[in-house]
Structure 1
Amino acid sequence: MSACTSCGACCASFRVDFSVFETQAEGGAVPNGLAVEVTASTCRMRGTDHAPPRCAALSGTLGVKIGCGIYEWRPSPCREFEEGSDACERARHRHGLPPLSGPH
């Protein structure tokens, strides 16, 4: 089992910006209601620009059990985020979660 299904720190640590072409309105998969327009070419996942950030698609309790309500339709930054990466470890630290042991 991936640590990601119990963590969720990345979903509550970073802005998630992506191309407008990833939204359903432009032929992509990200639901329009979860995308906030930033510029004519960029959208952001709703909730990720709040302080503190927390993606609107995230459900559950960080560090216990989480889920992504749009996992199959998530934008490219979420698809490309790597478990155990430096950014992952920073997000985990920010939320008081222990580091992962080695690459996954």
Structure 2
Amino acid sequence: MSDFGDNPCLDCGACCKSFRVSFYWAEALERGMPEVMAEQLTPHLSCMKGTNASAPYCAALGKGDAGRMACGVYAHRPSPCREVQIGDEKCERARAKHGLPALSCVS
């Protein structure tokens, strides 16, 4: 993983522990995501493993350098993960769910 500077996502992971991340099944293959990171929901939809639970926790989320939160498949992550932006509505909803303060800057 490259250096993302002062990226609040690297200390948070709230969205990875809040939402089911579902996408068209072929997207994982197209992006080169390891098969073990996705589980099939329907004949046409998959989701990130661990996010289809009552208490979602994406299997790709773990501790990276210096104990910071890190996505293990960041370069291969599916479109729903790419759509969440720092400080947007989904980000702030996830942060609030986990008792984290709102971000003061929006990119």
Q: TM-score, normalised by structure 1?
A: 0.88
User: 1:93 aligns to what?
Assistant: 96
May I ask how many residue pairs the two structures share in their alignment?
100
> How far apart, in 1, do the equivalents of 2:60 and 2:105 lie?
28
What is the aligned-residue identity percentage? 45
Cα deviation per residue 1:34-86 (whole Å; 9 max; x = unaligned)? Answer: 1111111110100001221100000039xx72001111111111111111011
**Secondary structure, in 3 states, of the residue corresponding to 1:23?**
helix
Give ranges in structure 2 of 5+ residues lacking alignment.
1-5
- The alignment's TM-score, normalised by the length of structure 2, stands at 0.86
* 1:31 Cα deviation after fit: 1.5
Give the 4+ runs in structure 1 shifted more than 3 A.
none
* 1:1-104 matched pairs, under 5 angstroms: 1-24=6-29, 27-60=30-63, 65-104=68-107
